[in-house]
């Protein structure tokens, strides 16, 4: 219990410093981000295509969500 603040401060400082080093290393070497599902799926969502806000809500569709999925 006595060294909790020191341990917490050390972990926080280590995280901050390592984040800065990783970001600097990736940006200075012009490294491209890896292509995987988690990086590319955001461009195919309804929010990214501005279609989610344009649909009227049916009176009683019997389901929740868009009909064409």
The residue among 66, 41, 64, 62 whose CA lies nearest residue 53 is: 66
Degrees, nearest 5: CA angle 43-45-47:
100
Domain borders along the chain are 1-69
What pLDDT, on the 0 to 100 scale, is given for residue 40?
85
What pLDDT, on the 0 to 100 scale, is given for residue 18?
98
What pLDDT, on the 0 to 100 scale, is given for residue 55?
59
- List Cα–Cα distances, 7 to 2, 16, 17, 18, 28, in angstroms: 10, 14, 15, 16, 31
pLDDT tens digits in sequence order for the chain, 69 residues long: 788 999 999 999 999 999 999 999 999 998 888 888 888 888 888 888 877 766 566 666 576 666 655
């Amino acid at each position: 219990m006595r060294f909790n603040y020191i341990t917490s401060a050390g972990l926080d400082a280590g995280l901050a410093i390592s984040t800065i080093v990783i970001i600097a290393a990736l940006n200075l070497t012009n490294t491209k981000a890896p292509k995987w599902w988690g990086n590319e799926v955001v461009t195919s969502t309804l929010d990214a295509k501005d279609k989610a806000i344009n649909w009227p809500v049916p009176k009683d569709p019997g389901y929740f969500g868009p009909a064409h999925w």
